[in-house]
Amino acid sequence: MKVRGAKMTAAAVGVMLVMAGCGSGDDSAKAGGKVTLDFWGWAPGYEKAVEEFNRTHPDIKVDFQKTAPGSKGGYTKMLTAAKAGNAPCLAMVGYETMPSFAAAGALQDVTEHAAPHKGEFADWTWNQVTIAGKTYGAPVDTGPMALFYRKDLFEKYGIDKPPATWAEYRAAAEKVHKADPDVYLGGFGTDSYGYSGLAWQAGAKWFGTTSDAWKVSVDSEANTKVADYWQGLLDDKLVKPVVSFDSSYYKSVSEDKILSDVNAVWNAPILASSLKGQSGKWAVAPMPVWDAAKPVDGNVGGSSTAVMKGCEHPEQATEFAMWLSTNKNSLSTLIKETGIYPAATAGLSHPALSEPNSFYGGQKIFDVFKDASGRIDTDWQWGPTMTKTATDLADGLGGTGKGGTTLPEVLADVQKKTVDEMKSQGINVTTD
């Protein structure tokens, strides 16, 4: 499948708000002193990688401070700090949020220091941290998707093999529901970025650009196709409405009420840590596709180590950001602890990706994600108001679980709110 690097064009940025000037700061430490860099993020394993960096870099100290996940207040805290002029030098920022941070003037241009490292990353991931020719950090990972499933429960309910298509997924869900109405093949959650992966897979883009405007298409025909499919599953009670990553969700899974989870690679350690009593019972298979003859997979997430506005030591900050993404020891930690699939090309041959995983019955699960990563259409673009768009979508997804609205209605509502938000920010926008 031919793919093109997802990127933010100069024209796209031209229709954003004019970016606030980024502080250049002081690029050198005081004579004989040590540079200290504050780093905000939330992913497990990051603190261990930071410890390794500090141990091997006596002239630079990174102080990692754990924050709430971006969608649960972390991004708001970062943006507030940037506006107040006291942001950390470094922050964990998802690719989906980079355009919003750039539009808000919260990022610092480190192209001069980052440019020599461009060839160390897959083109499409480098494009995620480069906007209108300016690079604002280092790519860390991508989020290829798969189907996490209980082998023993699939066997119990007569599911001979993991569903390879969404038609097979529905058939398997019907089989489970018929056998026990209190048990579900999968859950339908409130995570807007998880839903974006389903849209991404189907080619249901949310944003695009023309020569002078942003195009918003959250409620397009392709998006409605995805919404109608999942609404049908909800209407027929074939999937269980859940609050994504909530303890109530894992309780249902631990009680054998939910048999599988369509999710990204980074979900692997989350499941393992949340369901320790089920070690050895889980496995990973390719995510179901729309067309078995032309399989396309989705992507959820992917993050950067971004350099924030006002960082006084951008050269050292960039040095750390690149080290985190490319150093063999750092990658070993992040693969095992965080569940990343590396953005750095050298990381794709890291030995940790070939190790069997005991929680998944000794399966070499990264083999599945390696295949999936080659089936991702990387011509996907995030918009400049994703923080607001994601919040509105998450609220709507929660409503569908309660029966108060439908997914097509949610998409129409998010479409309108996104357009209104962009217009309120002075961003030129079209829906044509």
10-residue stretch averages of pLDDT, the chain, 432 residues long? 40 42 40 84 96 97 96 92 97 95 95 98 95 95 98 98 98 98 97 96 94 93 97 97 95 98 96 96 98 97 96 98 98 95 96 97 98 94 92 94 92 97 94 80
Distance CA 114, CA 214 (A): 28
Q: Are residues 413 and 385 in the same domain?
A: yes
Q: Residue type at 324?
A: L
Residue 89 lies in a domain: yes
Residue 335 lies in a domain: yes
| CB-CB neighbours of 71 under 10 Å | 21
In the prediction, which pLDDT does 33 show? 67
Are residues 355 and 385 in contact, defined by beta-carbon separation less than 8 angstroms? no
> What's the predicted TM-score (pTM) here?
0.90
Q: Are residues 149 and 264 in the same domain?
A: yes
Q: Are residues 197 and 279 in the same domain?
A: yes
Phi, psi of 258 (to 5 degrees): -130, 125
The strand pairing partners of 41, in sequence order, are: 66
Report how far apart, in Å, the C-alpha atoms of 293 and of each of 1, 164, 199, 289, 296 are. 12, 11, 19, 9, 10
Report the CATH number at residue 202. 3.40.190.10
In the prediction, which pLDDT does 24 show? 34
Distance CA 283, CA 195 (A): 22
Tokens of 151: 């082998």
Q: Are residues 163 and 289 in the same domain?
A: yes
Decide: helix, strand or coil at residue 338: helix
Residue 367 lies in a domain: no
Query: What element of type H or E holds 125?
Result: helix 123-128
Query: Domain limits at 313?
Result: 10-142+301-354
Q: Are residues 346 and 424 in the same domain?
A: no
Distance CA 307, CA 4 (A): 26
Q: Are residues 138 and 36 in the same domain?
A: yes
Distance CA 60, CA 320 (A): 9
End-to-end CA distance of the chain: 27
Residue 66 lies in a domain: yes
Q: Residue type at 80?
A: T
Distance CA 309, CA 293 (A): 47
Token pair 């922050």: residue: 91
Are residues 337 and 378 in contact, defined by beta-carbon separation less than 8 angstroms? no
Residue 321 lies in a domain: yes
In the prediction, which pLDDT does 301 show? 86
Phi, psi of 391 (to 5 degrees): -65, -45
- Number of domains making up the chain: 2
**Buried (b) or exposed (e) across 382-397, using 16+ Cβ within 10 A?**
bbbbbbbbbebbbbbb
In the prediction, which pLDDT does 132 show? 87
Residue 3 lies in a domain: no
Q: Are residues 271 and 170 in the same domain?
A: yes
Q: Are residues 65 and 105 in the same domain?
A: yes
